[in-house]
């Protein structure tokens, strides 16, 4: 059903009323070669395809059918929604619809995306309520009080109750009723404050603002990290075994592993938790090395440097307890990252590996998210890495949202992606950055879930590209391409050779020739590459 690329080229060329010979001349190939391409007798790709697309003034994705592919994938995902399962859409519906009713197909895909977004917001609000410790504590108190009152009242209704019991349960009802009144008052007060102007800012937003204000870099934590790292390395070379020794030696903490799932700190089944009473850190055996190393580091910094984290939180003058708690958690993670991935070394490795996250993961026994998170914090004044923005994608749905948001068509929904990871809507969404301002372009690449149905596009991976210079806008609108990963630039003695794995790199960024688009160019600007690909997955660890 999908027109082969040659036919698309020839049809587009004829629409523009350009002769085959003329197009061949403009793109620098012979007319006979173009003829072969248009008849699908020759493959076309790479820079030649870019040139053809440029001459035909058409998006390369349209030419290759990639956008159509994605639309089909979007529709298949929409049809796979549990909501539509009773309709049992026949196989091939998506493909047929895209071919025959492209407008309807696009409309369905957009509506489904909007629906997914709305669902995500609902989940978000529900989670926020559940996650609010004060709120859930008050609810628990009210529920306990009502349970006691109801049960006691039923006892009082029993016919042959002796006087002592009657008096006892009467007193219970009175006591619990007074307790309920107090709790309810506190709850109402809580909501009153929530509604007040001082509480207009959500804790998450407040944390975001703090991170933005500090440009993702916390000098105090970085300094503490150096000391903590040295402390840990007193027990041996940095790693899981040494962390275990340091935790045992300094904090009398033991480590336990078991196959079954246990509950984490929030009471949900998880992969790890620390029990302060028994001073035991538990890991599920399936927890990966990166998770274990990072969580042990995190525990070490929370036990050994809580005061440092507290001081940063206090200095931030956050307005609510919830924001302070959030900030404490985020900054504890920051500090753990700074200890596990020391600034200078990590930056040098990142530069050498051209910010290849896979390589950095291997060098530092880190998960994708840990590496990505550390990359965004490389903002030491005078010694910065490439600027990144990192959205934290916690679920397939969020991932899908970022994926959708990557396309200009979905510019209305394009989230603002802040450093420690909260999806936020842009107040004035633009497909590209404001003139002269920083430019973000989000693109996405669908990937197949390993072992899954190859025809079904699972969670797409998105690539975020931050471009500090508005002059690069045109370059950013070029498609990404799959490249061979090269070895790290410097001699990576002992480091894994990884030339055999495919990697994705952004297109080579060229400044546009002359023209107003170069307005953002500054004299003497940094010759280093100004963009890098950042893979965003839905992994959670």
Point out which residues bind another protein (CB under 8 A).
139-140, 143-148, 150-152, 154-155, 158, 165, 168-169, 172, 175-176, 260-263, 267-269, 277
Q: How far is the CB of 263 from another protein (least distance, A)?
A: 5
Q: How far is the CB of 88 from another protein (least distance, A)?
A: 28
Closer CB to another protein, 30 or 395, in the complex: 395
User: How far, in Å, CA of 294 to CA of 240, rounded?
Assistant: 9
Closer CB to another protein, 25 or 261, in the complex: 261
Closer CB to another protein, 260 or 285, in the complex: 260
Q: How far is the CB of 150 from another protein (least distance, A)?
A: 5
Q: How far is the CB of 154 from another protein (least distance, A)?
A: 5
Q: How far is the CB of 481 from another protein (least distance, A)?
A: 44
Give the helix ranges, DSSP H, for 80-202: 93-100, 102-131, 133-156, 163-195
CA 400 to the chain's CA centroid: 11
Q: How far is the CB of 181 from another protein (least distance, A)?
A: 15
Closer CB to another protein, 21 or 266, in the complex: 266
Closer CB to another protein, 84 or 265, in the complex: 265
Q: How far is the CB of 143 from another protein (least distance, A)?
A: 5
Closer CB to another protein, 272 or 368, in the complex: 272
Beta carbons within 8 Å of 40's beta carbon, 6+ residues apart? 4, 5, 6, 7
Do 360 and 535 touch, CB atoms closer than 8 A? no
> What percent of the chain is helix, strand and coil (3-state, nearest 5)?
55, 10, 35
Do 347 and 378 touch, CB atoms closer than 8 A? yes
Structure tokens, 524: 């003497």
Q: How far is the CB of 264 from another protein (least distance, A)?
A: 11
Return the ∠ at Cα 233 (arms to 230 and 236), rounded to 5°.
165
Do 461 and 425 touch, CB atoms closer than 8 A? no
How many Cα atoms sit within 13 Å of 504 on the Cβ side? 17
E strand or H helix at 424? strand 423-425
User: In the sheet that 439-445 helps form, which strands lie side by side, from edge to edge?
Assistant: 439-445, 461-467, 534-536
Closer CB to another protein, 169 or 341, in the complex: 169
Closer CB to another protein, 154 or 227, in the complex: 154
């Amino acid at each position: 059903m999908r027109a082969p690329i040659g036919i698309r080229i020839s049809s587009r060329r004829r629409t523009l009323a350009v002769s085959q010979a003329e197009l061949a001349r403009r793109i620098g190939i012979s007319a006979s070669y173009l003829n072969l391409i248009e008849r699908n007798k020759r493959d076309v790709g790479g820079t030649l395809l870019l040139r053809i697309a440029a001459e035909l003034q058409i998006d390369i994705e349209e030419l290759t059918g990639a956008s159509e592919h994605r639309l089909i994938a979007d529709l298949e995902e929409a049809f796979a929604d549990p909501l539509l399962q009773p309709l049992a859409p026949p196989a091939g519906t998506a493909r047929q619809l895209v071919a025959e009713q492209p407008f309807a197909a696009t409309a369905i895909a957009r509506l489904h995306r909007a629906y997914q977004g709305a669902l995500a917001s609902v989940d978000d609000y529900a989670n926020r309520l559940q996650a609010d410790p004060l709120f859930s504590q008050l609810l628990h108190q009210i529920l306990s009080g009502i349970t006691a009152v109801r049960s006691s009242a039923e006892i009082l209704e029993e016919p042959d109750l002796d006087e002592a019991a009657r008096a006892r349960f009467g007193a219970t009802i009175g006591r619990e009723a007074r307790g309920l009144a107090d709790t309810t008052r506190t709850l109402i007060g809580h909501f009153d404050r929530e509604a007040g102007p001082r509480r207009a800012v959500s804790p998450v937003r407040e944390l975001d603002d703090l991170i933005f204000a500090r440009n993702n870099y916390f000098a105090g934590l970085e300094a503490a990290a150096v000391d903590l790292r040295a402390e840990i390395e007193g027990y041996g070379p940095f790693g899981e075994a040494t962390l275990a020794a340091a935790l045992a030696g300094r904090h009398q903490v033991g480590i336990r592993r078991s196959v079954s799932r246990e509950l984490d700190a929030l009471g949900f089944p998880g992969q790890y938790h620390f029990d302060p009473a028994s001073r035991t850190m538990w890991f599920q055996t399936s927890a990966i090395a990166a998770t274990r190393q990072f969580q042990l580091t995190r525990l070490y910094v929370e036990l050994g440097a809580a005061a440092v984290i507290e001081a940063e939180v206090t200095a931030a003058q956050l307005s609510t307890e919830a924001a302070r708690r959030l900030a404490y958690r985020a900054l504890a993670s920051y500090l753990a990252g700074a200890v596990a991935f020391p600034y200078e070394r990590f930056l040098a490795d990142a530069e050498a590996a051209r910010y290849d996250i896979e390589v950095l993961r291997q060098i530092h026994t880190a998960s994708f998210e840990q590496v990505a998170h550390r990359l965004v914090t490389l903002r030491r004044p005078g010694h910065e890495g490439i600027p990144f923005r990192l959205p934290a994608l916690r679920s397939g749905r969020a991932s899908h949202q970022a994926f959708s948001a990557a396309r200009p068509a979905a510019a209305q929904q394009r989230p603002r992606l802040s450093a420690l990871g909260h999806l936020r809507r842009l107040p004035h969404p633009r497909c590209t950055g404001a003139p002269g301002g920083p430019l973000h372009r989000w693109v996405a690449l669908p990937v197949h879930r390993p072992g899954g149905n190859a025809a079904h596009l699972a969670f797409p991976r998105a690539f975020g590209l931050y471009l500090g210079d508005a002059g690069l806008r045109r370059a950013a609108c070029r498609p990404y391409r799959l490249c061979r990963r090269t070895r790290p630039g410097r001699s990576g003695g002992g480091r894994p050779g990884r030339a055999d794995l495919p990697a994705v790199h952004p297109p080579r960024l060229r400044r546009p020739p002359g023209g107003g688009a170069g307005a953002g160019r500054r004299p003497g600007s940094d010759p280093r590459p100004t963009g890098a690909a950042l893979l965003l997955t839905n992994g959670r660890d």
